[in-house]
Amino acid sequence: VGYGVNISLNTYAALQGKDDVKLWIYEAIREDAFQLWGFSNTTERSLFMLLISVSGIGAGTARMILSAMTTAELCNVISEGNDKLLKQVKGIGPKAAQRIIVDLRDKIGSLGIDASAASPVSSKAAAGVNSEAGSGDLYAIPRKCLQGIFEFTLHCAGVVLYLPSAEGVAVV
């Protein structure tokens, strides 16, 4: 039996190179969908649950936030009230960023994350994954993922993947 599980890019990175993995699952049952969300640690899962408790933040948006920065960096951004970095995540506008900060500032202390130990997040780093997609480049996220994962040309059963790039067509 196999299950489709939605994961963040940070969880994906944590799973690389491992034969056996353990995911912490959040099960979302709605009228029209049954979804599983997986996390590499309980802290990321707890932050996800806090994020979806904020009005207007769904599971997909919470995953985008958790993909844009680590849990420690996100806690640092929230505790400092840095709405500019949150607004750079696709799907987060000024009101949603402020709502996340106001609703979660007091709650993130209960997670036991040392936000001061997190490296400061530059606006370029926080925007690295999602701002390009927000600018209309629909292939930015998959291209970034594939470039990070594959440093060689991938040939699967004679099929070569072609992805649009800024320089033309990139053969992956």
Q: Per-residue confidence at 108, pLDDT binned at 50, 70, 90?
A: confident
The per-residue pLDDT for range 20-79, each reduced to its tens digit, is: 889 999 999 989 989 999 999 999 999 999 999 999 999 999 999 999 999 999 999 999
Is the CB of residue 54 less than 8 Å from the CB of residue 104? yes
> 9: closest CA among 151, 145, 111, 156?
145
If 0-12 CB within 10 Å is exposed, 13-18 middle and 19+ buried, where does residue 106 land?
exposed
Buried b (16+ CB within 10 A) or exposed e, 25-57: ebeeeeeeeeeebbbbeebbbbbbebbbebeeb
Q: Per-residue confidence at 3, pLDDT binned at 50, 70, 90?
A: confident
Is the CB of residue 54 less than 8 Å from the CB of residue 112? no
pLDDT at 153 over 50: no
Is the CB of residue 15 less than 8 Å from the CB of residue 40? yes
pLDDT at 5 over 80: yes
Q: Which two tokens stand for residue 20?
A: 């056996």
> How far apart, in whole angstroms, are the C-alpha atoms of residue 103 and residue 51?
9
| Mean pLDDT taken over the chain | 75
Residue 21 neighbours by CB distance under 10 Å: 11
pTM value is: 0.67
Output the pLDDT for position 126.
Answer: 43
> How far apart, in whole angstroms, are the C-alpha atoms of residue 164 and residue 97?
31
| Euclidean distance between the first and the last CA atom of the chain, given in angstroms as a whole number | 31
> How far apart, in whole angstroms, are the C-alpha atoms of residue 149 and residue 152?
9
> How far apart, in whole angstroms, are the C-alpha atoms of residue 17 and residue 149?
11
